[in-house]
Amino acid sequence: MHTHISVKGARVNNLKNIDVKIPRDKLVVLTGLSGSGKSSLAFDTIYAEGQRRYVESLSSYARMFLGQMEKPDVDYIDGLSPAISIDQKTTSKNPRSTVGTVTEIYDYLRLLWARVGTPHCPICGKEIKQQTIDQIIDHVLALPEATRIQVMAPVIRGKKGEHAKIFEDARKSGYVRVRADGSLYDLSEEIKLDKNKKHHIEIVVDRLVIRDDITRRLTDSVEVASNLAGGLVVVNIVGEDRDIMFSQNYACEDCGVSIEELSPRMFSFNNPFGACPTCMGLGSQMKIDPELIIPNRDLSIVEGAITASGWNNIKSDGISRMYFDALAKKYKFKLNTPIKDLPQEIMDVILHGTNGEKLTIHYDQPRGKGTLYQPFEGIINNLERRYRETQSDAMKRELEECMSQCPCPTCQGRRLKKESLAVTVGGLDIDSYCRKSVTEALDFMEKLVLNETQTMIASQILKEIRNRLGFLQSVGLQYLTLSREAGTLSGGESQRIRLATQIGSSLMGVLYILDEPSIGLHQRDNDKLLQTLKELRDLGNTLLVVEHDEDTMREADYIIDVGPGAGVNGGTIVAAGTPEEVMDNPASITGDYLTGRKKIPVPSERRKGSGHYLKVFGAEEHNLRRVDVAFPLGTFTCVTGVSGSGKSSLVNEILFKKLGADLNRTKTRAGKHQRIEGEEFLDKVINIDQSPIGRTPRSNPATYTNLFSDIRDLFASTPDAKSRGYGPGRFSFNTRGGRCEACTGDGLLKIEMHFLPDIYVPCEVCKGKRYNRETLEVRYKGKNIYEVLEMTVDEALPFFENIPKIYNRLKTLEEVGLGYVKLGQPSTELSGGEAQRVKLATELSKRSTGKTIYILDEPTTGLHSADVHKLIEVLQRLVEGGNTIVVIEHNLDVIKTADHIIDLGPEGGDGGGQIVCTGTPEEVAACPGSYTGQYLKKML
């Protein structure tokens, strides 16, 4: 039996032929600087090999569908278990995926509602019961002996008319009596009903006295009555004049609405039997949004207030101008009046049309001039029609910029059809249940009262639901609702959901590889997560966790520190052992930060800012409780709070989108709030997130930071290039001329192999150098363009030290800790943290106006304490230039260096959305109600 996973000779990416032993059935943390090779070892070597061996064991037919994994560059790996990777990249963007469906809790809920749900009439809300013939007979025979009854067939229920044909047919069939509107009639007499009134008519099938020997006759009569009335039977107790209604199918006796047999598919919004027919189960529809057609209501039509495609060209000879002139003349308004000052009825005409009234339109075009008389359809109707009719994807995308998601008018965003929503368990329909937070949902299931039969049916289902909700709670996701769309979750949240699902499967003997599970978690919830990881380990699994969180490292059984630097300076094992052994190792930077030999200093004083504030009033997006918040300008502000407290709703949904629309003129719809004040002190907003800087290998740090343009200009200015007549375009691998045409400047050729993974081989013509021979003959200081792109930032600094323009851009890349990155490294190979820092460097190299606001959402993702130190220095430099920085962060090292903190909470979900306290870190640390303050106290 192997006690270790032994890796021998790993050389993937920057790993330097390393050997490492990972103890099995332990919690092992892999740490090191960003870019040191942790992910290369964990995901690209160990996980890739585990996955490859599994796929190899399948038939070649099955392998065809799975896509092959290529063998990682490693001599051998011993003692490997089946590997499951839980990373942050694979979040579902499918609008049909919800927290409930991803965790499979919704499948159990559908089963529960189908098996023990109580159906109601979707129109009147009355409970609907269903009985078999045997149940009806038993019920009737349970009446006291000698009770006189009439078995009747309710053939007409609340319908207008004289119904003469009903009486005629009953007479011909041999029936003697009917009851109409509560009065008994003999069918031999003439029955006159008012045709304008609603009537109830029952045919009397049989009259009986309750005795032991009537079972056979009663059964026949009930069956006849049921057949006559489509499954309904009325038993009238003579003397008491009381009716008992029985139904063989789920049908409302008052409204005549019947619903099908309850089944799980009735509660699936991904199945036509359950989905709302209008929105097909999406709960929302794309609709033209007036706020996106006219983002700035301070402008007039002439100034370009209307930005929608086809209506934004306001030149005097344009078609849209002819319509606007005609509208202005007919409805007597001026085109230079700001939109906000135009009466509502004028706006209705502009947006929704003239309702058939004709306009007099004078046109003067190159093809002729004249007058037209025609109605105006309105901008919204025009955009909707063009969206329906166009075949062009580009046109569709352009029109979608004016659309936003609106709740479906039929189901009000509840996704299911009304019949499905009329079924309840414990008084709740399935959608109302899914809108509860995990904590409330668990509480509801714990307190659910069922009768004996229902308990027998549902006990196993309830156990599964309670377990899975409990696992979600244990990974710190108690604030999420089951109806939350999976696409709106952060990377950390979706990763922890998959972690909860794995715990639910309770496998053992598995190797779990996790990528920073503590991302997006407040210190308070981190303890819960650690407990969960230990439970997973104690089941008999090995956990390999890539992590920078100090608490996780202290709790680990074993730490592997990869380093010492990043990129080419990394890729070796610096230290490995228990947390104590790593702390005692002087070579380990991680050990330095764990022991406190190195630490991020607390600033000696806090900035007061420019004296101006950016104020948000009445913020109520998602769970925010109409809060008013002031962000001091010219400072470094941290927005903190437990997971789900409303930080992203406030900063990303309201602040960033509103400033983006007003300052950057982007077409975005901000979250729900009343107003924002103080925008006049800003000129632009920039969101520096961790999304890739480019989607293809053709983009790289040099192209993104504009370094490449300067380098190409430099090469074009060399005597050799001038004598050959080469311009800067000659040195681009994206255009014809200088690039190698055999591989179109990629340097690689893709060879498709069926049954095997696609192989990328270096281009035979240029040997992977991307350029043709003539271009590579031009040299600057002895190096050609390919060799310059192969340099790291650290190597390029002395090389370009006499060219200030290039040197300054390189210097900022080095300052953000990217000295190890090659200038031409494809953007697809950069981690999220590296991409974010390339963007930061680009911002640092621009001339500061001092009026920019930067927004960062958890910038420390993927960063070691040493990297965080560098990041904080860069952010402080941006603020020194008079700019404002707003950061959402859980990392206490960042929070303690802020000038101002806005702490949201006190809890997540419905228990959050309020301002707990604001002020300097010292003031927040002194606030007794703040969880952030409690943990911050230890750091100051």
Provide mean pLDDT across the span 667-676.
92
- Residue 828: pLDDT over 90: no
pLDDT level of residue 59 (50, 70, 90 thresholds)? confident
Query: Tokens standing for 384?
Result: 């909707």
Q: What CATH number labels 133-248?
A: 3.30.190.20
Q: Give the residue with greater pLDDT, 844 vs 695.
A: 844
Q: Output Rg (C-alpha) for the chain, integer angstroms.
A: 36
d(CA 176, CA 189): 10
pLDDT bracket for residue 831 (50, 70, 90): confident
Residue 757 pLDDT class (50, 70, 90 cuts): low
**Tokens representing residue 675 in the block:** 């107003």
Q: Where in the chain is the domain with CATH 3.30.190.20?
A: 133-248
Burial track 334-361 (b if 16+ CB lie within 10 A, e otherwise): eeeeebeebeeebbebbbebbeeeebeb
Say how far residue 54 (Cα) sits from the centre of its chain.
31
Q: What is the mean pLDDT of residues 124-148?
A: 90
Report yes or no: 129 and 166 within 8 Å, Cβ to Cβ.
Answer: no
Confidence class for position 756, pLDDT limits 50, 70, 90 = low
* pLDDT score, position 310: 87
Contact between 436 and 303 under an 8 Å Cβ cutoff? The reply is no
Q: Are 361 and 326 in contact (CB under 8 A)?
A: yes
The DSSP call for residue 266 is G
Structure tokens at 80: 């490997």
Please, which pLDDT band fits residue 576 given cuts at 50, 70 and 90? very high
Look at residue 92 in the predicted model and tell me its pLDDT: 73
- Pick one of 1.10.3720.10, 1.20.120.420, 1.10.1270.20, 1.10.8.280 as the CATH number of 286-407: 1.10.8.280
Residue 755 has pLDDT above 80, yes or no: no
On the question of pLDDT at 754 being above 70, the answer is no
Fold that domain 4-91+489-595 belongs to in CATH: Rossmann fold (3.40.50)
DSSP state of 569: G
pLDDT confidence tier of residue 414, bands split at 50, 70 and 90: very high
pLDDT of the residue at 330: 93
Here the tokens at position 575 are: 């230290």
Q: pLDDT digit string (tens) for 379-389?
A: 999 999 999 99
pLDDT at position 65 is: 75
Stretch(es) of the chain classified as CATH 1.20.1580.10: 701-826
- Statement: residue 753 has pLDDT above 70: no
Match 């992910």 to its residue by tokens. Answer: 39
Query: What pLDDT is attached to residue 502?
Result: 85
Angle between helical axes of 865-880 and 804-815 (0-180°, round to 10): 130
CATH of 613-690+870-937, one of 1.10.10.350, 3.40.50.300, 3.40.50.12240, 3.40.50.170: 3.40.50.300
Mean pLDDT of the chain: 92
- Please compute, for residue 285, the number of CA atoms within 13 A of its CA located in the half-sphere on the CB side: 13
CATH 3.40.50.300 placement within the chain: 4-91+489-595, 613-690+870-937
| Confidence (pTM) | 0.81
Angle at 352 between CA 346 and CA 355, to 5 degrees: 90
Q: What mean pLDDT comes out for the span 873-882?
A: 92
CATH number corresponding to 701-826: 1.20.1580.10
- pLDDT (average), residues 257-273: 90
Helix (H) or strand (E) holding 151: strand 148-160
Interatomic CA distance for residues 648 and 645, integer angstroms = 9
Residue 23: strand pairing partners = 4
pLDDT single digits (tens) 84-100: 998 876 567 789 999 99
Structure tokens at 91: 């979040």
pLDDT in tens, 312-361: 878 766 788 889 999 999 999 999 999 999 999 999 999 999 999 999 99
- Judged by average pLDDT, the poorest of 158-172, 241-255, 603-617 is 241-255
Q: H-helix or E-strand containing 631?
A: strand 627-632
The first and second tokens of residue 339, run together, are 């939109």
